[in-house]
A = this chain, B = another copy of it.
């Protein structure tokens, strides 16, 4: 397994380049008996799909996924599930200019050094297009978690450049092109993004993903902690540069007496832990935040070198998102769902015998 597989009992392996023939994935370890159809996967794919608003790339891809195996008469069979999305909009000519030069902050240089050659069309394997398959696979995990355990995995844009969401209204998230949970900030974001687009520049973002009603006990205590595996899954999304669980970096300046989440029979009094204690889910909401860097593909020329090591300028004229963070919400949800699904199966395998006499306390009261 060299980098294209995630998970231990519920595994997802992907293939596909930005401008190749197709993207695909194999999900292995999905329990049998789950009702599953392409429509279940398409909803999240459509949320991630390019070209849906003027704030995202205008590249158009139907991103229609086909289930090739592992489902029989509408139900999963327990065998491996093959998924395929054929690429349609492959304007490879857009990329010929960058064939021999390394776009700053892109993977071009490191790929070239590692592999000695690369598919330069649209970033090849390093393109965020690869994440379509993560979204499709994550939708399977989401469905199982929801149907069998009532777990809900959701996300929102908590910050767009300098603009922070100050309240979280889940009903608003899916009704605006930014996945912004704070209705008061949407006009500000629109204005900001229009100005940004004109400037040819790009901006970073902060996303928050939350899983509710997660069973207590998921996660392994040392290296494969639930928070560690979430960090792995989220940091593995293109452009992510930081991951926080619960209070995250705010804990640096916090005192133990104020930071600790006290337990009462009526529930935890707070959720600074973000739902993970000692690497194991506590039954509180799992809360994670991620930082996404500004898109590196911008219209403003930048300095770089070419394959001979000579200095050259580079400008990216293709179709790109000015803020990759926006479309990353379904991806982050998918990765969180995949990690939870994997740990659910692992925990069930190992701790099916367990009977704990202590009652499970409710999630945070605040």
Contacts and interface: CB of A to CB of B under 8 A. Distances in A.
A-B CB proximity, top 7 nearest: A107-B278, A3-B220, A349-B349, A232-B232, A202-B256, A228-B236, A15-B82
Given A24-B26, A114-B216, A307-B358, A201 B32 contact: no
B252 A236 contact: no
Interface in A104-145: 104-119, 124-126, 130
Contacts of A245: 235, 241-242
Nearest to A125: B79
A52 interface: no
Interface stretch (A39-47, A177-185, A261-269, A326-334): A261-269
10 contacts: A9-B349, A15-B82, A31-B350, A69-B125, A109-B358, A111-B221, A126-B278, A256-B297, A269-B303, A348-B348
Contact of A229 (B13, B108, B232, B244): B232
A68 B309 contact: no
A51 interface: no
Contact of A124 (B15, B72, B276): B72
B115 A78 contact: yes
Interface stretch (A56-64, A165-173, A279-287): A279-287
Contact of A113 (B81, B110, B217): B217
Contact of A255 (B2, B14, B201, B219): B201
B257 A231 contact: no
A22 B280 CA distance: 24
A224 B3 contact: yes
Contact of A225 (B235, B242, B357): B235
A90 interface: no
Contacts of A8: 1, 8-9
A130 B26 CA distance: 14
Interface string A137-172: 000000000001000000000010110000000000
A221 B124 CA distance: 11
A219 to B, nearest CB: 8
Contacts of A113: 216-217, 280, 282-283, 356, 358, 360
A98 interface: no
Given A205-B252, A265-B305, A346-B349, 11 more contacts: A2-B224, A4-B220, A23-B69, A33-B353, A75-B117, A201-B257, A203-B253, A223-B236, A257-B298, A262-B303, A305-B361
Nearest to A359: B309
A36 interface: no
Nearest to A240: B227
Contacts of A260: 104-105, 296, 298, 302
Nearest to A2: B29
A189 interface: no
A165 to B, nearest CB: 12
B110 A282 contact: yes
Contacts of A17: 69-70, 72, 79
A49 interface: no
A93 interface: no
A204 interface: yes
Contact of A252 (B31, B111, B206): B206
A11 interface: yes
A193 to B, nearest CB: 13
